[in-house]
Amino acid sequence: MEEKRYFTLEEANACIPDLIDEISLLRAIRVKLAALHAEITPLLEVVSTNGGSKHTADLLRTTAQFQTVLDGITARGCHLKGLDPGLVDFPHLRDGREVYLCWRMGENKIRYWHEIEAGFDGRQSL
């Protein structure tokens, strides 16, 4: 089993530029997926046994791209809590216990932490 990663404040802050790019990309992919889904769904209802749609391959490719970006964030040990507002938690040891450093899109650095059970509403200043 893989050892759990804990971030220092400096390590978590170093992730922010990549996270800004990745969350922006995930948001753009989500828009594309929604558009493709809207186009494909009526076609699938009408021609479910007729080979699908010319957009099916694009939908599958786009879904795979979304998953790849998401997997990359998770593999680094970051916890993406939502694309809107772009909320990410970083496991962190504070006074010997596990908490989360908390960052959200629009913030240029991490300034908050919260207890694991508290969530965003329980954010406290560092």
Walk along the chain (126 residues) and give the pLDDT tens digit of each residue.
667 899 999 999 999 999 999 999 999 999 999 888 777 766 655 554 555 556 677 888 999 999 999 999 999 999 999 999 999 999 999 999 999 999 999 999 999 999 999 988 899 999
Q: What is the pLDDT of residue 47?
A: 54
The domain segmentation of the chain, as residue ranges, is: 9-125
100-106's contacts with Cβ under 8 Å and 24+ in sequence apart are 101/7, 101/9, 101/12, 101/126, 103/12, 103/16, 103/19, 105/20, 105/23
Q: What is the pLDDT of residue 120?
A: 85
**What pTM does this model have?**
0.84
Residue 6 corresponds to which tokens in the numbers above? Answer: 């804990």
Classify the C-alpha dihedral 9-89-78-32 as positive or negative: negative
Compute CA 72 distance to the chain's CA centroid, rounded to the nearest angstrom.
9
Q: What is the pLDDT of residue 41?
A: 67
Q: What is the pLDDT of residue 72?
A: 96
Q: What is the pLDDT of residue 39?
A: 74
Q: What is the pLDDT of residue 52?
A: 56
